[in-house]
C-alpha cells in the first residue's frame, strides 16, 4: 500500500566552509535550494541519499529535508530549513547576501 510521500531534497554542510549545500540533479553539491534536485519518490530519495553520503571529504551530516513544490521551485516546510536557505536574522550574513 502506498502512503503519501512529502517531497524531499538532500542537504548537508560543506566540509571546508560549513556552508549549507544541496544535492543537484547532476549529482553534485550546490549552494542554493533552487538548484537542488527534488525527490518525489521515496526509493529514489533513499538511493540518492546513499550516493550523496559517499563523499565524506565534501559534505558533512547528509540528510533528507521536506520541501513543498511551488512555482518558484522547492521551498522549505520547516522554519529551520528556511533559516538554512538564507542565514541568521540578526545580520545580513550567509546565503542571504547573494540572494538579495
Interface positions with other proteins (CB under 8 A): 13, 15-20, 56-57, 60-61, 77-80, 83-84, 87-91, 93-95
CB 64 within 8 A of CB 49: yes
Nearer to other proteins among residue 49 and residue 77 (C-beta): 77
Q: Are 93 and 45 in contact (CB under 8 A)?
A: no
Nearest residue (CB) to other proteins, 38 versus 95? 95
Neighbours of 87 (CB within 10 A): 18
User: CB of 43: closest distance to other proteins in angstroms?
Assistant: 26
Q: How far apart are the first and last CA of the chain?
A: 44
Cα dihedral 28→32→33→39 (10° resolution)? -10
Residue 55 CB, shortest distance to other proteins, in Å, is: 9
If the CB atoms of residues 2 and 89 are measured against other proteins, the closer one turns out to be 89
Nearest approach in angstroms of CB 87 to other proteins is: 5
Amino acid at each position: 500500500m502506498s502512503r503519501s510521500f512529502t517531497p524531499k531534497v538532500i542537504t548537508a554542510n560543506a566540509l571546508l566552509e560549513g556552508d549549507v549545500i544541496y544535492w543537484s540533479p547532476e549529482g553534485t553539491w550546490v549552494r542554493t535550494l533552487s538548484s537542488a534536485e527534488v525527490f518525489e519518490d521515496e526509493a529514489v530519495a533513499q538511493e540518492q541519499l546513499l550516493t550523496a553520503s559517499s563523499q565524506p571529504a565534501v559534505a558533512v551530516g547528509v540528510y533528507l529535508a521536506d520541501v513543498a513544490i511551488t512555482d518558484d521551485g522547492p521551498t522549505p516546510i520547516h522554519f529551520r530549513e528556511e533559516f538554512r536557505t538564507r542565514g541568521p536574522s540578526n545580520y545580513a550574513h550567509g546565503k542571504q547576501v547573494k540572494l538579495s
